Amino acid sequence: MNENRAAGVWAAIAAAARDEAAPVALRHVCLACADAVSADDAALLLASTLHTWEVAYAMNPLGEELVELQTTYGEGPALDAAAGFDPVLVPELGSAASNSRWPAYGPDAVRAGAAAQFSFPLRVGAVRLGALELYRRRPGSLTSAELADATIYADAALAIVLNTRAGSVDGQRATEADFLSRGAELHQAAGMVSVQLGVPVGEAMVRLRAHAYRHGERLRDVAHAVVARRLRFERSQAGGDGRAEGERT
């Protein structure tokens, strides 16, 4: 993950918005991401004010139907991703493992026309905002490059959601600046914290955001301190729960 990849992702999102002569929005994240990873559909599941999940955007009826199925049954990759720290990648929705994990949703998703589903969490600390959903009508895994791109597209969606809720006057420029400024160094810091704590990179990213929120610091400043080795995350020994705290050196 590097700054060039992050810049390329944002350029694709901005190009999708320019094609419609519209401000950058979640729709354009879905359009650009689906094109980048050869997905047949993309959708965004977000938490509503009623503490339920709902479709914020779906490219096609398939995506809308699949999100509705998951919210109806209370199970599925999107809900698991939204509740967790890491992507939920299902290269074959019709497999025995998929049907065992999601007995109601799995078979119905296949009947609806989906063969593979990839769900990426949108989360800041303990706050679960939703998930970016990608669907294919054929089974198969994402390549490593597609997985890296999809992860950054999810981060872009998160930046847009947070920026919109903050009520920025100049949403597009503010979101782009925030997204790119925390791109390469943030991902480098997440990789370092992942090694320090022995956790997946997705969880390491959440720990960085939680530390910034807890201490009233900017996320990019926390990431810079980690990369500069002025801040190190250590496992807490208290109670043996494995929780991490950042320690300044």
Residue 177 has pLDDT above 80, yes or no: no
pLDDT at site 90: 98
Which CATH class, in words, describes the domain spanning 182-248?
Answer: mainly alpha
The better pLDDT of the pair 155, 179 is held by 155
pLDDT at site 125: 66
pLDDT at site 243: 41
Residue 20 structure tokens: 């419609």
What is the mean predicted confidence (pLDDT) over 209-225?
Answer: 82
3-166: CATH topology: Beta-Lactamase (3.30.450)
Query: Among all chains, which residue has been given the structure tokens 């109601």?
Result: 104
Tell me the pLDDT band of 12, cut-offs 50, 70 and 90: very high
Q: 101 near 79, Cβ under 8 Å?
A: no
Range from 109-113, 156-160, 171-175 carrying the lowest mean pLDDT: 171-175
Tell me the pLDDT band of 92, cut-offs 50, 70 and 90: very high
Q: How many CB atoms lie within 10 A of CB 54?
A: 15
The domain ranges of the chain are 3-166, 182-248
Q: pLDDT of 19-44, one tens digit each?
A: 999 888 899 999 999 999 999 999 99
Q: pLDDT of 64-90, one tens digit each?
A: 999 999 988 999 999 999 988 889 999
Tell me the pLDDT band of 248, cut-offs 50, 70 and 90: low
User: Measured between alpha carbons, how far is residue 15 from residues 8, 41, 156, 171, 177 in Å?
Assistant: 10, 19, 14, 16, 16
